[in-house]
Structure 1
Amino acid sequence: MSTPTRVLVEFSDGAESEVLVRADQSVLDAALTADVPILNQCQTGSCGSCIARLLDGKAEHRNGAAGSLIPGERAEGYRLLCLTRPDGECRFSLGYDSTAGKNRPVEAKCFVNKVDRIACNVVRLELELAEGYWMDFRPGQFIQVKVPGTEEFRSYSMATTAADLPRIELLIRILDDGAMSKWLTSMAKPDDVIEISGPYGQFFLKEKVRAPHIMIAGGTGLAPMMSMLDALRQAPGRKPRTVLSFGCQTRDALFALEQLDLRRQWMPALETRICVDRGDAADGIRIGNPVEAITSNDELSPDSVAYLCGPPGMIAAARQHLEGLGLPPESIFAEQFVASN
């Protein structure tokens, strides 16, 4: 029997854990066995919750494994620990503190409060946790929602904060032939019961609250940004300079503009840039994508932090663009939104 491989895992608060990984295990398997609080959800490489950065040594995804990382992330040393096999001793860093994984996901039931069509292809779903259920979460995390009448689940980031509980708000893109989309547009009504579980994910507001913030959101990728903005607003003390760049394909796909205006009034340090790919320019609306709306004129400082949420292509472009503007890779946090039918 081969000797297990020693792997060191470092959290952002300086805490370290040693994990012994057998040849038949992934790093995540071994960590969970050792009760190391690494965030995870699907354990198949599709959700990206267990992402970590390889600092020393050699470790690769197992042969034939498909994952949600884009090539640029792999090149920068990022790995999905559920797919990763170490080739000798190695060291990983995690983008969250050692307490983040201690809020274990829970299952809960919710009532539907409201179902509102807020754009040509977006629905706002307001839920309320049923009596006797509760969950704590960090701004930016997501839950899994069971599609009523099926055994299928969908993942959605919360647009609200834990301070808003028991109310939970989700922003959901409507897809042709989507299972959840069909239910939302033809069957959903107030007081319907929905099953959820969570929270999941390591895409959440970090502790660098005073650092300048850049947020780039595509479509319903705005949801976790709304949660983060409200958390920043609710935090005591001086608010950081924050630029939110939000884009959709067309003007009729835009949504939540009034809510963003309110947050600008509440947070003088917040600047919003609204973009559409196609159409005519208008007051407050730019033509172009939300990535190119961030420029060298923004003078990103070394301690700036960026949050990205949207489709994979936007994430890849935004990472490259921000690194070109001088932002270090470890200060860029991302969540990919991938459609499910």
Structure 2
Amino acid sequence: MADTHKIYFEPVDIEMEVGEDEKILDAAFRQGIHLMHGCREGQCSACKSYVLDGEIQMERYSTFACNDAEVDEGYVLLCRAHAYSDCTIELLNFDEDELLGGVPIQDVRTRVTAIEPMTRDIVSLRLTAVEPSTYEFKPGQYSDITIPGTDEHRSFSMATTQSTPGEVEFLIKKYPGGRFSALLEDGLAVGDELHVNGPYGSFTIKEGHVLPVVCIGGGAGMAPILSLLRHLNETGSTRPVRFYYGARTAADLFYVEQILALGAGLRDFEFVPCLSEELPERPEAGSSSADAGMPSGLLLEAGNVTDVVARREADLARCEVYLCGPPPMVDAALVFLEAQHVPSDQVFHDSFTSPVTVSA
């Protein structure tokens, strides 16, 4: 049996135990401590922390997330870190409300109830919880779904809320050669069972906040933003909300009418699809959507999503910004938001990456 050690987290004054055979982040989840995290695969830096004292070794990780100089100074990625002594760790990023108040991690056996194409490369996967019969999570969080017959999993965000506690929807982008993507084409069917583990992520609406909300999404990043919009609608939020969704063409847009219906229940809402590629009849910035087959009155904007946001949002520093989409889009948006002087504690995103080999 592996030895166990104590971890002391500063400056939050939290103590926990960790086995040498488990990662520190996983041990925290097991004990109901929800540390800041993102990809959980050593490829982002959301869980980066500083070792004040003790012996820690990391499994393989991306040097883009934690470079050699940082490692030499004592920085670690908690999702890849094992403790071999009692340790004191300084948390660099944390949410005091989430630390001890997050939703417990659950293992849920589910059954597939629908597999429906949304666009040429986005699929809606709907599951019903079997055991237990409900799945608790916060809007904006994500889950691990195990690839049947393997020990591998893929992470996907929920598009639903607790208004349907036994039913959950994922919006999944199909990638050439993707192991889970292939199952959506041929391998999964209604009635099949899938194992779901979660929830994870800190891409959640912060209760009690009053700043306007700006959502920037693309691709399957629609899912957690749709969950957030549903939550804001269901709770009667009065915060102004703008949703900028980046797509290549009008054919890549989906759930437009549902989004507009949710927005109708908010006090001040606008949905702005941003189209980056040439159309047979390309809309000029701010043009009508009628010719593109969209609902009447919807404005289509031409250009990359960050360019459109730059044109339309003059005071981002006084907004909370929620980002989810392909990594290049999120990276570009983070650079843009920094240039706009948006405080880092007003920017929320989960970092998703395709499974790749990472280097130590």
Output the TM-score relative to the length of structure 1: 0.79
* Corresponding residue of 2:61: 66
State yes or no: 1:314 paired with 2:314.
Answer: no
The structure 1 residue matched to 2:340, chosen from 310, 325, 335, is: 325
User: Secondary structure of 1:217's match?
Assistant: strand
**Which letter does structure 2 place at the counterpart of 1:179?**
R
Q: Deviations over 1:252-304 (max 9, x none)?
A: 22222222222222224111110122123342322212122212652336552
**CA shift for structure 1 position 198:** 1.2
Q: Would the aligned equivalents of 1:308 and 1:315 in 2 still touch at CA under 8 Å?
A: yes
Q: Deviations over 1:206-228 (max 9, x none)?
A: 22442211111110011000000
Counterparts in 2 of 1:240 and 1:107: CA distance versus 1, 3 Å: same
Q: Would the aligned equivalents of 2:275 and 2:301 in 1 still touch at CA under 8 Å?
A: yes
Q: Would the aligned equivalents of 1:9 and 1:19 in 2 still touch at CA under 8 Å?
A: no
* Corresponding residue of 2:295: none
* Corresponding residue of 1:170: 170
State yes or no: 1:288 paired with 2:303.
Answer: yes
* Corresponding residue of 2:238: 239
Q: Deviations over 1:150-204 (max 9, x none)?
A: 4431111000011222110110111222222221112333222222111112222
State yes or no: 1:337 paired with 2:349.
Answer: no
Q: Would the aligned equivalents of 2:38 and 2:351 in 1 still touch at CA under 8 Å?
A: no
* Corresponding residue of 1:229: 229
* Corresponding residue of 1:8: 10
User: Secondary structure of 1:226's match?
Assistant: helix
Gaps (5+ residues) in structure 2? Answer: 1-5, 284-288, 290-298
Q: Would the aligned equivalents of 1:221 and 1:337 in 2 still touch at CA under 8 Å?
A: no
Q: Would the aligned equivalents of 2:39 and 2:350 in 1 still touch at CA under 8 Å?
A: no
Counterparts of 1:328 and 1:184, CA distance in 2: 39
Q: Would the aligned equivalents of 2:238 and 2:266 in 1 still touch at CA under 8 Å?
A: yes
Counterparts of 1:63 and 1:131, CA distance in 2: 35
Counterparts of 2:155 and 2:128, CA distance in 1: 17
* Corresponding residue of 1:278: 277
User: Secondary structure of 1:162's match?
Assistant: coil
**CA shift for structure 1 position 69:** 6.5
* Corresponding residue of 1:124: 124
* Corresponding residue of 1:45: 42
User: Secondary structure of 2:277's match?
Assistant: coil
Q: Would the aligned equivalents of 1:141 and 1:202 in 2 still touch at CA under 8 Å?
A: yes
Counterparts of 2:150 and 2:32, CA distance in 1: 33
Counterparts of 2:323 and 2:39, CA distance in 1: 21
Stretch of structure 1 that moved more, 18-27 or 29-38: 18-27
Counterparts of 2:264 and 2:325, CA distance in 1: 25
Q: Deviations over 1:80-134 (max 9, x none)?
A: 4335799987453413514665532111121211111110111111111126432
Counterparts in 2 of 1:96 and 1:332: CA distance versus 1, 3 Å: farther
Counterparts of 2:255 and 2:229, CA distance in 1: 13
Stretch of structure 1 that moved more, 302-311 or 107-116: 302-311
Stretch of structure 1 that moved more, 248-257 or 208-217: 248-257
State yes or no: 1:250 paired with 2:281.
Answer: no
Aligned length: 329
State yes or no: 1:269 paired with 2:268.
Answer: yes
Identity %: 26
1:189-200 correspondence runs (5 A): 189-200=189-200
Gaps (5+ residues) in structure 1? Answer: 11-15
Output the TM-score relative to the length of structure 2: 0.76
Q: Would the aligned equivalents of 2:246 and 2:274 in 1 still touch at CA under 8 Å?
A: yes
Counterparts of 1:88 and 1:198, CA distance in 2: 27
* Corresponding residue of 1:13: none
